[in-house]
Structure 1
Amino acid sequence: MQEIITGLIVALDVVALYLLLPDVKQRFLLSFWTALLHMVFPIIGFTLGSWMVHILLQWSNLVSSILLFSIGLQLILSTKNRQTIAIPIAILAITASLDTFSVSISFGMLNLQKYLFIISAGIWTFVLSYISLYIAKSRLRIKGDALKWIAGLALVGISIYSFILNIE
């Protein structure tokens, strides 16, 4: 269950970003690419995270907690950045998906169920990014900041929970 919720949390960052893009012409293609990359980057991250566990077994949980905390904090702090620029769809999808790489390193280090998280992240990202792009196109004003705060606080919470579990 934790992997499914985490897949949703990772997708919320994309929702917050895509709600700010009202003029995307290929919404389905962008949603598809972003979802695909939200599945590819975690495969790499899980592999790297699992590899790191073997090398840094004593430090992996601390490093994982620090990574998750940092990503959550970055999401919260990114609500201050309000720049909008025209970016090609492929670059936008990669940029929106890069955070799943570092998050999945942490999850790989915690030995969570890789494929459940990957499928969850892909499905949530596709559905929520497409809905976000559709809403942005309709000119409804929904603030992405709240979603970034929720995702950021959730990752910070997971990092603290993980850290506390490993201290005991």
Structure 2
Amino acid sequence: MQEILTGLIVALDVVALYLLLPDVKQRFLLSLWTALLHMIFPIIGFTVGSWMVHILLQWSNLVSSILLFSIGLQLILSTRNRQTIVIPITILAITASLDTFSVSISFGMLNLQKHLFILSAGLWTFALSYISLYLAKSRLKIKGDALKWIAGMALIIIGVYTFIYHIE
């Protein structure tokens, strides 16, 4: 269940970003590309995370907690950054998906079920990014900052929980 919820949480970051892009012409393609990258980066991240577990066995839980906390904090702090830039669709998808790499390193170190997380992240990201891009084009304005705060706080809570749980 944690993997499915985390897949949703990582997708919320994309929602917050894509709600700010009203003029995307290839919404389906961008959503599909972003979803695929939200599955590819975790594969790499899980591999790196598993490798790090063998090297840093005693420190992996601490590193994992710090990574999750830092990513959550970065999401919250990014709500202050407001810039309008025209970015190619592939670069936009990669940028929106890079955070799944570092999150999945943490999950790789915790030995969570990678296939379930990867599938969850891909499906949630595709559905939510397409809906976000559609809503951004419509007249209905939804603030992405609230979603970034929710996703950021969720990652911080998971990071703190992981740290406390593994100390005991």
- Short-chain TM bin: over 0.9
Q: Where in structure 2 are there 5+ consecutive unaligned residues? A: none
Aligned partner letter, 2:41: F
| 1:36-51 alignment runs, 5 A limit | 36-51=36-51
| 1:69–1:155 CA contact under 8 A, matched in 2 | yes
Is residue 27 of structure 1 aligned with residue 27 of structure 2? yes
Deviations 1:38-70 (A, max 9, x none): 000000000000000000000000000000000
Amino acid at match of 1:21: L
TM-superposed deviation, 1:153: 0.2
Query: How far does residue 108 in structure 1 lie from its aligned partner after superposition?
Result: 0.3
Say which SS state the counterpart of residue 159 (structure 2) adopts: helix
SS in structure 1 of the partner of residue 20 of structure 2: coil
**Partner residue, 1:132:** 132
Q: 1:7 aligns to what?
A: 7
Asked whether 1:163 is paired with 2:163, we answer: yes
Residues matched between the structures, number: 168
Contact 1:38 1:121 in 2 (8 A): yes
The answer as to whether partners of 1:64 and 1:107 remain within 8 angstroms in 2 is yes
Kindly provide the CA deviation profile for residues 78-133 of structure 1, in whole angstroms up to 9, marking residues without a partner as x. 00001111000000000000000000000000000000000000000000000000
Q: C-alpha separation between the residues in 1 aligned to 2:107 and 2:84?
A: 31
TM-score, length basis structure 1: 0.99
Structure 2 equivalent of residue 105 of structure 1: 105
CA distance in 2, matches of 1:37, 1:120: 13
Q: Does 1:146 align with 2:156?
A: no
- Equivalent-residue separation in structure 2 for 1:128 and 1:163 (angstroms): 30
Judge conservation of contact 1:15–1:147 (CA < 8 Å) in 2. yes
CA distance in structure 1 between the aligned counterparts of 2:71 and 2:154, rounded to whole angstroms: 10
The percent identity for this pair of structures is 88
- Residue aligned with 2:58, SS: coil
- Which amino acid is 2:50 matched to? S
- Could you list the structure 1 runs, at least 4 aligned residues long, displaced by more than 6 angstroms after superposition: none
1:64-103 matches, within 5 Å, as 64-103=64-103
Tell me, in whole angstroms, the C-alpha distance in 1 between the residues paired with 2:29 and 2:38. 14
Unmatched 5+ stretches in structure 1? none
SS at match of 1:22: coil
* Structure 1 letter corresponding to 2:121: A
| Structural mapping, 1:112-127, within 5 Å | 112-127=112-127
Q: How large is the Cα RMSD of the aligned pairs? A: 0.4
Contact 1:22 1:139 in 2 (8 A): no
